[in-house]
């Protein structure tokens, strides 16, 4: 059976790999910047609202650019596609980010990225549950490796950590990974049809509005009485840990597929651990490194098997 996937030159594929690699590195800086901002007594929903508030104008500009570039060739979206695109954005970038920011109040940046990186395994489990896809022996082993790795790393984190509510933090990050996995499952069918710039802009604008409504309800939009470093970090987070990597990874997925992008994106947990060590003075023990490599190995097994299929 002939594949409908468009073929790209070696240079295009190499460029796509570099886009995903850079996007994964930039995304990995988010947890470190969140932890740095928490030193200045800012609550999670206010920090998330500031991130989205600074990101929203950039997404509006990009959406306007895409509309102008496409011109009359731009196909109108159906009501169903509009609803699904914005709904997926709310799921993947509002709910996932909200639970992630909450969890980071109780857990280290390195451990956060490790738990969050479970999302490809959650995609496999959801696909099996919802679409009756067979897990198979290889995926089964990969799932065991991945969750064993998290258990090993978390066990050492529990024994060494002095943080309160560590289990609560881990649970919140796991919910974040779950909601992001739902976003990935849904976006696979809409992103090629809608287009990278258009889909990502709409999804992110929907999530920005949802976050700001949430903040208005619980904090009455009191966003301008924090210490100056909070705003610097929020701007950096909006540009370099939200807008830029969102488009880099979306474009990379369009060119080389989600499975290949997942393989390259496995640099994310290691990048976060290294950055947390440099900027937050977080230590990561031998068992935690073993757990990290087990998790990455399990995710790679799943991603490579998808690619072969």
Predicted confidence (pLDDT) per residue in 149-162, tens digit: 888 888 877 766 65
pLDDT value, residue 63: 85
The two tokens of residue 128 are 């099996």
- pLDDT 10s digits, 3-57: 444 566 777 778 888 888 899 899 889 999 999 999 999 999 999 999 999 999 9
- Domain regions of the chain by residue span: 30-68+77-308
Q: Is the pLDDT of residue 71 over 90?
A: no
Q: Is the model's pLDDT at 137 over the cut of 90? A: no
Per-chain mean pLDDT for the chain: 84
Give the distance, in angstroms, between the CA of residue 21 and the centroid of all CA atoms in the same chain: 13
pLDDT at 292 over 90: no
Query: CA-CA distance, 94 to 176, in Å (whole number)?
Result: 10
pTM value? 0.84
pLDDT value of position 309: 53
| 1 pLDDT above the threshold of 70 | no
């Amino acid at each position: 059976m002939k594949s409908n996937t468009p073929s790209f030159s070696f240079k295009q594929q190499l460029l796509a790999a570099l886009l995903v690699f850079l996007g994964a590195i930039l995304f990995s800086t988010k947890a470190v910047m969140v932890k740095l901002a928490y030193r200045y007594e800012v609550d999670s929903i206010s920090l998330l609202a500031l991130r989205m508030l600074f990101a929203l104008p950039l997404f509006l500009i990009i959406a306007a650019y895409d509309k102008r570039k496409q011109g009359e060739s731009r196909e109108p979206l159906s009501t169903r596609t509009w609803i699904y695109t914005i709904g997926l954005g709310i799921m993947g970038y509002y709910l996932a980010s909200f639970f992630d920011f909450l969890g980071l109040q109780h857990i280290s940046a390195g451990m956060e990225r490790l738990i969050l990186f479970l999302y490809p395994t959650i995609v496999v489990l959801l696909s099996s549950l919802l679409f009756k896809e067979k897990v198979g022996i290889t995926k089964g082993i990969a799932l065991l490796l991945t969750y064993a790795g998290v258990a090993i790393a978390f066990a050492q984190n529990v024994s060494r950590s002095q943080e309160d509510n560590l289990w609560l933090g881990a649970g919140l990050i796991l919910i974040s990974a779950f909601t992001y996995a739902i976003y990935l499952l849904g976006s696979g069918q809409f992103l090629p049809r809608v287009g990278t710039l258009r889909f990502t802009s709409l999804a992110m604008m929907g999530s920005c509005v949802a976050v700001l409504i949430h903040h208005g309800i619980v904090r009455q939009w009191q966003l301008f009485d924090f210490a100056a470093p909070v705003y610097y970090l929020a701007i950096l987070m909006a540009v370099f840990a939200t807008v830029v990597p969102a488009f880099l990874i979306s474009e990379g997925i369009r060119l080389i597929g989600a499975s290949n992008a997942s393989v390259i994106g496995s640099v994310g947990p290691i990048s976060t651990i290294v950055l947390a060590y440099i900027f937050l003075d977080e230590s990561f023990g031998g068992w935690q490194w073993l757990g990290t490599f087990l998790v990455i190995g399990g995710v790679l097994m799943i991603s490579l098997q998808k690619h072969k299929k």
